[in-house]
Amino acid sequence: MHLSILTSFALFITSIAAVSSSRNSDPRVRRAPSISAEKNATYDYVIVGGGTAGLVIASRLSENPALRVAVIEAGGRYEVDNGNVSVIPGYATVGAGTSPADIASAAAVDWGFITTPQATTGSAQMWADEVDDQSYTFDKLLPYYEKSSQYTPPQFPQPNSTNIQDPKTLTSKTAPVQVSFGGYDDPFGTWIIPAFKAIGQAAINGFTSGKLIGAAYCPSTINPDGNKRSSSETAYLQPAANRTNLHVYEHTLANNIIFDSAKRATGVNVTTGSTAQIISATKEVILSAGTFQSPQLLMLSGIGPASTLKSLDIPLIQDLPGVGQNLWDQVYYGSSLRVNLLTNSAGLNNPLLAAAGIAAYDADSTGPLSIGNTGVLGWEKLSTSTSPTSKNVTTTLSPATKNALAIFPPDWPELEFLPASGVLGYQRVFATEDPRDGYNYATIATALVAPLSRGNITINSTSAADPPVINPNWLTHPADIELAVAAFKRQREVWSLGLSNITLGDERIPGVKVQTDAEILHFIRESLAPVWHAACTCKMGRDTDEMAVLDSNANVRGVTGLRVVDASSFPILPPGHPQATIYAFAEKIAEVIAKGVAQGNGTAGDGVATTRGLTGLGAHGQGDRPTGPGIQPLGYGP
């Protein structure tokens, strides 16, 4: 929440703020519900992190009036703290940048804005096999995707699109998270599916049926009633505001988990301002603090690599060497050209056009502020592509790279194309550094979604107020490097083969002088950004996997009464945007816990994992991106 940086593209410009004085005061913004909390109280379940997963768990468990549930959240309510910046879809595209000043100025803005590609059938099967639990196959997870998300078709047909969505999926009419298309067709977006067809990519029926390879319009978590952001707060917490058995501790930092002599989690030490207290749990503590801070809190609580804990004089509760390891992340970068149609780089740098966009949104929630991006995405498996247009690129991939990529299932793409109605490049703050020459620019960006490089999270302090040490290790595996260069060349083919009718002049970024593989790689390293999909740092796994932190019910191994439920729990990072999977995963684990309660067990699987051999509310955990952009992801986004 508060400690994170933005997700999504930086295309909308600061002139909007100059034109609109209502940026933070739109009366249509729903105010946060007030859910009181008690000092030093005892609950059945204590959840650390009011983000995508945490609020799902809190809402579902508190449906049982016999259970007392608490949420500990380091941030506040995004609609209160940020107003329209975190509510109106168009503002989701303001970039945070990388300089200390940029990070400070954007510290309160965390969108978690999302679109709907889910896991593929093959990636879900890979997950199930990794954890030896077939309840994670796509068919078994699909009911939880359905339980969380309610789809609304577009109000008007999308140009150049044959089928907008697979009608067999997202059929619920009562699910809490709203999924729709907003109220605007971005002009550049209307060219993308034909452009992808020109390079051999088929148009498909959306990204919710277990298939990703191809191109389609992609809905986002936008509530069609007013085209505002739909989040875990609006979908799960606000409807539960009147429950007396659910308490939320806002602006409260979780310092560490407390254990008894039997290694059972009994509560959490927290600080609200300068006030310290203990929030106790009679059944379970559930960590949903995010990919970066869930492993941090485990280590601060004595669970993690013994050598790390010893170096900081943290008493060892359980030696789990996998805590903080296995960090999966995806990076993206783009090439930008001038185009002969209206894009955000010109349209919203012009005060008159910006004012028109605001007027359209104020009048009937339409216009460019009602969407977060172009609305079109595409995926490609380049290493096995048979498209004639890809031969020039695929032949540059070495046998070693193709062999390395063969570990992924056949339906797991390697590239995601993210068309952007603006400029990406060597920019710290994308939107404010778009060219101000009055021309229109657009970008074809590519993300690597089959990464082989792995990073890690560790700590160098015993204070939860200090950020964890994040080592993403982007582009350290030779196959990732080779694929990144090939992906850039593929971007240029999209421009030359599919978009030449709308381009004006030479490539603006990085420029036609960048030609050799070494020059391309240098540009990529200088300009890449994370896609905010970091995951897998507290991975679940088989009993025989020494690096597994959790069992398949998300119980922490070697202790009792403690789970981790967020993207850090994933054993692998599926290629689709992870938020859909986080929602589904949280729904699944909430059901497991509830069934355990109903059966009189108190906790599912007794809240016990075997020992081997023996985010602002509605965002991402209690602040799961402390030093820069982090995860995102319904398959919905960013």
> What is Dmax (Cα atoms) for the chain?
71
pLDDT at position 525 is 93
Among the residue ranges 73-77, 157-161, 294-298, the one predicted with the least confidence is 157-161
Q: Over 60: is that where the pLDDT of 32 sits?
A: no
pLDDT band at 361; cut points 50, 70, 90: confident
Share of the chain above pLDDT 70, in %: 78
CA-wise closest residue to 263 among 296, 236, 237, 285: 285
Alpha carbon 480 to its chain centroid, in Å, reads 21
Other beta carbons within 10 Å of 438: 9
Q: What are the C-alpha distances in Å from 291 to residues 78, 231, 277, 574?
A: 20, 18, 25, 15
Q: Over 90: is that where the pLDDT of 340 sits?
A: yes
pLDDT at position 230 is 79
**Higher local confidence (pLDDT), 556 or 9:** 556
Active-site annotation holds for 2: no
Mean local confidence (pLDDT), 553-563: 98
pLDDT at position 148 is 86
Q: Which residues pair with 280 in a beta bridge?
A: 42, 267
Out of 3.30.530.20, 1.10.3720.10, 3.30.560.10, 1.10.287.70, select the CATH number for domain 121-134+151-229+329-530: 3.30.560.10
Query: To the nearest whole number, what is the mean pLDDT of the chain?
Result: 82
Q: Which residues pair with 216 in a beta bridge?
A: 377
| Structure letter (DSSP) for residue 220 | B
Q: Which two tokens stand for residue 378?
A: 């595409």
Q: In sequence order, which residues have a C-beta less than 8 Å from that of residue 204 and are 6 or more positions away? A: 163, 211, 213, 214, 215, 216
Q: Over 60: is that where the pLDDT of 636 sits?
A: no
pLDDT band at 204; cut points 50, 70, 90: confident
pLDDT at position 4 is 28
pLDDT band at 299; cut points 50, 70, 90: very high
CA-wise closest residue to 370 among 231, 187, 182, 188: 182
Mean local confidence (pLDDT), 550-573: 98
- 3-class DSSP state of 585: helix
C-alpha angle with apex 289: 31 to 181, nearest 5 degrees?
A: 50
Active-site annotation holds for 577: yes
Mean local confidence (pLDDT), 69-79: 85
Q: Over 80: is that where the pLDDT of 259 sits?
A: yes
Helices (H), 376-477: 391-394, 399-405
* Catalytic residue chosen out of the listed positions 2, 247, 577, 620: 577
Q: Over 60: is that where the pLDDT of 27 sits?
A: no
Q: Which two tokens stand for residue 377?
A: 């995405």
The Cα 319–Cα 309 span in angstroms is 9
The Cα 137–Cα 121 span in angstroms is 7
* Annotated binding-site ranges: 532-533, 578-579
The Cα 474–Cα 452 span in angstroms is 9
* Catalytic residue chosen out of the listed positions 2, 247, 533, 620: 533
Out of 6-20, 73-87, 180-194, give the one with best mean pLDDT.
180-194
The Cα 576–Cα 412 span in angstroms is 9
pLDDT band at 532; cut points 50, 70, 90: confident
- Sign, Cα dihedral of 206, 212, 217, 221: positive
What's the pLDDT tens digit per position in 173-186?
888 888 888 888 88
Q: Over 70: is that where the pLDDT of 433 sits?
A: no
pLDDT band at 427; cut points 50, 70, 90: low
* Annotated binding-site ranges for FAD: 532-533, 578-579
What's the pLDDT tens digit per position in 37-56?
778 899 999 999 999 999 99
Q: In sequence order, which residues have a C-beta less than 8 Å from that of residue 40 and are 6 or more positions away? A: 277, 278, 279, 280
What's the pLDDT tens digit per position in 209-226?
788 999 988 888 888 888
pLDDT at position 82 is 65
**Higher local confidence (pLDDT), 233 or 97:** 233
Q: In sequence order, which residues have a C-beta less than 8 Å from that of residue 614 and are 6 or more positions away? A: none
Q: Over 90: is that where the pLDDT of 557 sits?
A: yes
Q: Which residues pair with 264 in a beta bridge?
A: 560
The Cα 296–Cα 311 span in angstroms is 15
pLDDT at position 625 is 30
Cβ–Cβ < 8 Å for 294, 254: no
The Cα 150–Cα 634 span in angstroms is 11
The Cα 419–Cα 156 span in angstroms is 21
Instruction: Name the fold adopted by 35-82+232-327+535-607.
Output: FAD/NAD(P)-binding domain (3.50.50)
In the chain, where the domains are located? 35-82+232-327+535-607, 121-134+151-229+329-530
Match 């995707």 to its residue by tokens: 145
What's the pLDDT tens digit per position in 300-332?
999 999 999 999 999 999 999 999 999 999 999
